[in-house]
Every structure is written in structure tokens, then in C-alpha cells.
Amino acid sequence: MKFLVLLFSVLFVSNCFGWGKIGHRVVGEIAWKHLSPAARKGVDKLLAPRSLSYVTNWADYIRSNKQWDKAKPWHYVNFAKGESNYHKITHSKKGDIVQAIYLMESILRNSKNPKTHKTMALKFLAHLVGDIHQPLHAGYAEDYGGNKIKLNWFGKKSNLHRVWDEQLVEFQQLSFSEYTKELDKLGASEIKKLQRMTVVDWVKESVDLRDSCYKFEGTSLGYRYSYDHVKTMERQMLVGGIRLAGMLNGIFSNAKYSKKQNSAREKVKIYISPKAFEGMPQF
């Protein structure tokens, strides 16, 4: 029984992380490349001696600490079939990824918050902006965002969520810095356009991409699935990094929100307590 419990927890934990370690680091590294000098200084002040890309996986590491159980629902949001408008769904009182991203942003913007809270908020933000761009983090509740879709990835037992979190990225055999170099080639006008969009727009994009992740025949995935989906996966990591940079540049220059961003933000009810970090362990 003990073994089963252990096995279950190992399987469960390994199945619900966001992008795997490489994917999250790509998002963090691309963001770093697009930070203003002020934002780099602000980020360094909170994270030194660690880098932005390094801390992107912290929010997954702390899952092993029970004290952080309350943060588990912050990594995703569920949409039923046919729904794509975040404002129209029933919002979880335990929080979700849209609420959490907005909360982290507001914690970072409030100069009265202690440094330790801001550091935690930055680490969460750097992680969650990655997660929200993984289409299965805007998944269906009934299959746990693809976790219940059992399949084989190149002959090894896996599930759809895990393929998207880790295996599709790892299969490309690029380090996070190689991947960053490879992807980070957008023009200035496209970057601006991407950074103008709201968190509610981001999640809609993921919902719109989500069903295409389920397009495959049989239960053995491999070269063909990678060929069909690698572009979407790469685009989502890139866009996540660009948007994380946009948000951090706004935070550290204390920029006012645009009208569009303000109205999206005001419509999102944040159920997570703004005191969520009080007394919490940093490691």
C-alpha cells in the first residue's frame, strides 16, 4: 500500500508540472533578452545571484512541500467544451492561473510589499506565464488537462499532458539557451503587438490551440506527432517569453496599464488572498 501511495504520488506529481524544465527556462531566457535596463535591475535585485531563467521552475519544485498545496490550482484553468471566454466561466474560489498572474503582478507593483514576497511573486510569475501558454493548462477538467489521456511516447508510457509539458520539448534535443537563440527572432512590431494583449487574450489563444493537441490516431505517438505540433509548441514558448518581458517591463517602470489591459484586469475577480505569501517558506 505504501508503495502504491508512493507510486501514485510520483506519477501524479510528474504529470502536472507546466512546461518541463527546459521549456520554462526558454520562456525565462527569452524574457530576459527583452527586458529594459530598469527591469533587469529590478529582477536582479530580487533574484540575485540566480537568473530569471533559473528560477522559472521554482513554482514546480515547491509542490513537494505540503505548505504550498494552496498554490496547486494557480497553475491552470479549466474550460468546458465550447467555452473560450474567461470572463464567462465559473471562476474557482481556490484561484486559477489568470487570477494568480494578476495577483503576482499586483504584488510586484506594490512598493509596500516586503522583498521576500516580491521575490516569490516574481518566481511564480515567471513560471505561470510559461504555463498559461501550454495549451493543456487551459484544459478540460474531466481529463485533468490531458493527464488522463494515456498513450505511449516513442514506446514509453506517458500521457498527453506530459507530452506537451516535457517530452515534445525534450525530443528536439536543444538546451534552453540553444532554443532561445533559435526562436528569438521576432521583429519589433510583432513584439509590440504581442505585448499589448491581455492575460485573458493569452488564455483564449491556449484554449483555441488546445483541441489540436488531441489530434492523433491510435495511442502511440512519435515522429509524426512531433512533426505536426513542434511549431505550435515553439511558438507558445516564444510568445510566453515575449509577454513575460512585456509584463516585467511594465512592472519595473511602473507603467500605467492601457485601457484594454485595465478593463480586462478589472473584470477578473481574484479569489486568492493577497496575503498568500505571509509566513510561507521560500524554498
The binding site for Zn ion (CB under 5 A) comprises 18, 75, 131
| Residue nearer to Zn ion on the CB measure, 18 or 135 | 18
Minimum Å gap between C-beta 59 and Zn ion is 6
> If DSSP states are collapsed to H, E and C, what string results for 187-243?
CHHHHHHHHHCCHHHHHHHHHHHHHHHCCCCCCEECHHHHHHHHHHHHHHHHHHHHH
| Residue nearer to Zn ion on the CB measure, 216 or 244 | 244
Minimum Å gap between C-beta 16 and Zn ion is 8
Minimum Å gap between C-beta 272 and Zn ion is 15
Those residues whose C-beta lies under 8 Å from the C-beta of residue 213, and which sit 6 or more positions away, are 135, 136, 146, 160, 164, 229
| Residue nearer to Zn ion on the CB measure, 42 or 95 | 95
Which residue is closest to Zn ion by CB? 18
| Residue nearer to Zn ion on the CB measure, 75 or 117 | 75
Minimum Å gap between C-beta 131 and Zn ion is 4
Judged by phi (left if over 0) then psi (alpha if -120 to 50, else beta), residue 173 lies in left
| Residue nearer to Zn ion on the CB measure, 18 or 23 | 18
Residue 86, exposed/middle/buried by CB under 10 A (0-12, 13-18, 19+)?
A: buried
Minimum Å gap between C-beta 255 and Zn ion is 27
- HSE, side-chain direction, 13 A CA sphere, residue 158: 18
Specify which residues 157 forms β-bridges with: 152
| Residue nearer to Zn ion on the CB measure, 136 or 268 | 136
Q: Which of 130, 206, 124 is nearest to 166 (CA)?
A: 130
Minimum Å gap between C-beta 9 and Zn ion is 17
User: Among the residues of 16-48, which ranges form H helices?
Assistant: 21-33, 37-47
Contact between 57 and 165 (Cβ < 8 Å):
no
| Residue nearer to Zn ion on the CB measure, 104 or 261 | 104
Minimum Å gap between C-beta 36 and Zn ion is 26
Q: Which DSSP state fits 258?
A: P
